[in-house]
Amino acid sequence: MKLIKRLALTILTFATIVGFSFSAFTHSAEAASKVSGKVVIAGSTALLPLTQQAAKEFKKIHPKVSVTVSGSSSIAGPQSVMKGAATIGACDWDATKPVAGFNAFKELKAHKIAVIPFATIVHKSNPVKNLTTAQLQGIFSGKITNWKQVGGKDAKIVVVNRKHGSGTRVNYQIKALKNASFMTKGENYKEVGKSGEMLSAVESNPNAIGYIDLAYVKGNVKAVNYNGVAATTSNVINGKYTVWGYGYLLTKGTPKGANAEFIKYIQSNKFQNGSLTKLKFIPINKIK
């Protein structure tokens, strides 16, 4: 009899726990399903791997929300929001303030979402492992034209630059080149519009040099050291590597509904310490 009572008590306890868990799960699912609407993100290609991943995860939690992500340039982010073509603009600088010749979009609100490390990249076959500020200023201004001038082989340097309006370009010029001017034309000079195009241009040419955020450093390119310091997330966090910037999402005023929930998700500890870190971005709370 005692054995039967114990068995019955165990079954009752298990049923209570399962019932509670199922109830909690159902409540959570119902709460998520109430979020609906449309999120349209446009702008930075440096942030594109991040916004695309966040969109995938967000849609699983909120299946009634339509999320569209595209990338062209940072300046296109705030411009698209102002035109009403996007609900969220992705930008590699705080576009509510004037930066590097760009006017402030004072009508917008900036939401800091990530720390973006940027790196100087060359083809993997290039023997050059380190470049100084002065050497980079010389290369990107067109004053240094041969790799042998910076410890490489005897070959003309092909400079690949991002087009005006790129947030990666803004950050690289300010942080890596210390505001030195870029060359604007030349036989061995070309400009590309997106981060993916920069990657393709450098990995397809053994003599090319460019710059990109760490999320794109893969394939046949490598990041060279900057003033003797490797371009790594840990070196950004410890203050040794200085070529980085903050990434922002911009909205017209205070976001509401699905757009507010999306920004909240990308700023959450779960995403910041999960997918964001895996993609070689740095959580915003890691930099003081």
Q: What is the domain range of residue 206?
A: 117-237
Which H or E element spans position 120? Answer: strand 108-123
Q: In a 10 Å sphere around its CB, with 0-12 CB exposed, 13-18 middle and 19+ buried, how is residue 26 labelled?
A: exposed
- Quick one: DSSP state of residue 163? P
Q: Give the pLDDT band of residue 100 (cuts 50, 70, 90).
A: confident
Based on the domain organization, do 167 and 250 belong to the same domain?
Answer: no
Based on the domain organization, do 218 and 124 belong to the same domain?
Answer: yes
Range with lowest mean pLDDT among 21-35, 136-150, 267-281: 21-35
Residue with structure tokens 């290369």?
A: 139
- Quick one: DSSP state of residue 165? T
- pTM higher than the cut 0.75: yes
- Residue 74 sits in a domain of what CATH number? 3.40.190.10
Phi, psi dihedral angles at 142 (to 5 degrees): 95, 5
Give 237-270 pLDDT, tens digit per residue.
Answer: 999 999 999 999 999 999 999 999 999 999 999 9
* pLDDT of 28: 45
In this predicted structure, the answer to whether residue 76 has a pLDDT above a threshold of 60 is yes
Q: Does residue 288 or residue 51 have the better pLDDT?
A: 51
In this predicted structure, the answer to whether residue 1 has a pLDDT above a threshold of 80 is no
Based on the domain organization, do 95 and 72 belong to the same domain?
Answer: yes
Using CA atoms, how far residue 75 sits from 71, 91, 279, in Å, is: 11, 7, 23
Which H or E element spans position 223? Answer: strand 221-223
In this predicted structure, the answer to whether residue 174 has a pLDDT above a threshold of 70 is yes
Q: Which tokens in the block code for residue 218?
A: 């893969």
In this predicted structure, the answer to whether residue 19 has a pLDDT above a threshold of 70 is no
Tally the domains of the chain: 2
Q: How far apart are CA 35 and CA 1, in angstroms?
A: 52
Mean pLDDT of 40-59: 98
